[in-house]
Amino acid sequence: MFKSRRSAIVSLFMLVCAALLAVPQSQTIRAQAAPAGSLTVWCVGFDPHVNGWKKVIEGYAKKNPAAKVTLEPQGGQADMLAKYKASLAAGNGADIFTTPGWDVYEFSIAGQLLPLSPQVMTYDDAKKNLFPEYILQSQVDNQLWAMGIPDPPGDSGIIVNLDALAAAGLKKIDKFDTRQQLLDYAKKLSVLDNNKLVKAGLSFQENNGGTYLLSYIIDQGGKFWDNDKQEFNFNTPEAKNALQFFLDLYEKDKVDAIGLPNAIDGMLQGTVNMAFLWPEFMPFASGAAPDKKYGFIMKPSYNGNTPAIFGHADTWNAVIPKYTTNAPLAYDFMRYLASEEGQLLFLDANPGLSPLRSLVLGNDYYKTGKGAYLAPVIDAIRAGRLRYYGPWLDGSSIQYDIMWTTIEDVMNKRLTVDAGLSQLTKLSNEQIVQSRKRLPNAPKTTIYFDALPADLAIK
């Protein structure tokens, strides 16, 4: 049959290749057309999340042994989001995926998600049972679109290196009462060598810095967003004070220097002793720098001696895409995730604030368990200090590409404070206009500056 041995070998080789190519393919096809009983979950490749999901999935398997839930971590946050959008567009991918709040908003407006109400809980129950940010992040059609996973509010406080604290002779407290106290600690934690700062006492070099700015504006009674005009305005005295405070860390107080690493790298490397950093950093760091010990101290309010205003715009959520072929199983799994049992399993690996009010305001986990470090934050929540900033389409562009780059420009003295605030205003509003062109039927964004609305308030 074959003209020569060589042709036979080549043909055989091609046959083997074809076989190998076919095998994984058919497996994948089988998985995608699977009957009820299997789910794929995509999460960000971030250890606390991955471990949290694994625990929840194990717990669910005990409850529903017939179901097969597979977790597929998808790498970094940025790459993962690109993938989700592509999957939604293509109409296939995971049955459940985790996404930040801003994307929940966009996906729900574009009609790409399955609403979680009433199958997981009714909308009214959701408003009563969950923290407000999970409702406010998307109120499209008065539905619940996402189930939160435990996540600490980004700008509630400050992470400190406990060994450095001890070395400086300072006591570990739960919250700072005044900004002056914070600066005193910062100055004692700064390490100088020949009058040059080699270890930062208080670093502000982190991309999420913008949210601290927003919180300090509200703390002074100011507003940065006009609910009627749907516009930003940072040209206010409160904004100026807030920005100046952070800038003074470099020039006046000298507790941070531009040449020092950013907050995350610095904390891990030991060149930053204290930083404005999200509380989730602590479980994150236990994997990256196991030899270092970190603590959380709630930040002071701007004027001092009251609990600080803080926001939780950077929620993490689980959503169900519309294309899923196994909605009943997905809903059942979500119900488990939304239960106290499910949340507690997740919390074991990822100590943050659960979206369930009943847990945060009542459970021992937050009194004596791993969540105890968030006690001052919970007190502040009870005192009505929790806020939600947004939702804005392209919220990540505003927070990172606009707010943080402008703050950096001011830090590097390429802009004055006033010019920086004008730039913040101008660019953010331009972004709002551009986003509106993409999804013109997006609902209006209302920010509750003074207090949360009655149906969402925390009692």
Partner 1 sequence: MTPQITALRSARTTTPKSVLHMLQVRGLLWHVPLLFLSLVMLYPFIWMILSSFKTTSEIVAIPPTFFPKNFSTSGYQELINKLSILRNFFNSVFVSGIATLSATACASLAGFVFAHYQFRGKNLFFTILLTSMMLPAAVTVLPLHALFNNLRLGNTYTALILPYALSGFSIFLVRQFMQGIPAEIFEAARIDGASDWLCYRKLALPLTLGPLGGVAVFTFLTVWNQFWWPLMITNSADMRTMALAVAQSATQIAQRFDVLAAGAVLAIAPIAILFGLATRQVVEGIAFSGMKEG
Partner 2 sequence: MSIQNTISQPFPVRSRIRRRTFRNAFPYIVITPMLVWCLVFVIYPVAYSVWVSLHQWIASAPAQSPFVGIQNYIDLVTTDRRFPTAFRNTLVYTLVVTPIVLVIGFGIASLMVRVSRLTRYYMFAFFLPSLVPASIIGVVFGLFYQPTFGLANFLLTRVGFAPLNFMKDPDLALWTVATVEVWQRLGFAVLILYAGLLTLPHVYTEAARMDGANRLQILRFITLPLTRRVLIFVTVVTIIAALQAFDLIYIMTTSGGTGSSPGGPGISTYTLGLLVYNEGLIRGKYGPASATATILFVIVFGATILQLRFFRQTWEY
Q: Which amino acid is at 410?
A: V
CA pseudo-torsion sign 322, 327, 333, 337: positive
Which region, judged by CB under 8 A, interacts with partner 1, from 15-23, 142-150, 183-191, 360-368? 15-23
What lies within 8 Å, CB to CB, of 287 at 6+ separation is 47
Dig out the tokens for 248 from the structure.
Answer: 């003074």
Q: Whole-number minimum distance, CB 280 to partner 1, in Å?
A: 11
Phi, psi (rounded to 5 degrees) for 49: -70, -45
- Please give the size of the binding site for partner 1, defined by CB under 8 A: 44
Does position 270 bind partner 1 by CB under 8 A? yes
Residues 393-432 that bind partner 2 (CB under 8 A): 394, 396-397, 399-401, 404-406, 408-409, 411-412, 414, 427, 430
User: What does 378 bind: partner 1, partner 2, none (CB cut-off 5 to 8 Å by kind)?
Assistant: none
Does position 92 bind partner 1 by CB under 8 A? yes
Residues 33-52 that bind partner 1 (CB under 8 A): 40, 42, 45-47, 50
What lies within 8 Å, CB to CB, of 351 at 6+ separation is 150, 152, 282, 283, 370, 371, 373, 374
Which region, judged by CB under 8 A, interacts with partner 1, from 111-119, 129-137, 289-297, 308-316? 289-297
Q: Which is nearer to partner 1, 83 or 127 (CB)?
A: 83
Q: Which amino acid is at 180?
A: Q
CA distance linking residue 362 with residue 26, whole number of Å: 50
Phi/psi region, residue 44 (left: phi>0; alpha: psi -120 to 50; beta: rest), is beta
Does position 90 bind partner 1 by CB under 8 A? yes
Does position 110 bind partner 2 by CB under 8 A? yes
Within 250-391, strands assigned E span: 274-276, 294-298, 310-311, 316-319, 386-387
Q: Which of 72, 124, 141, 364 binds partner 1 (CB under 8 A)?
A: 72
Does position 260 bind partner 1 by CB under 8 A? no
Report the interface residues with partner 1, using CB under 8 A.
17, 20-21, 24-25, 28-29, 32, 40, 42, 45-47, 50, 70, 72-77, 79, 82-83, 86-87, 89-94, 264-265, 268-271, 284, 287-289, 291-292
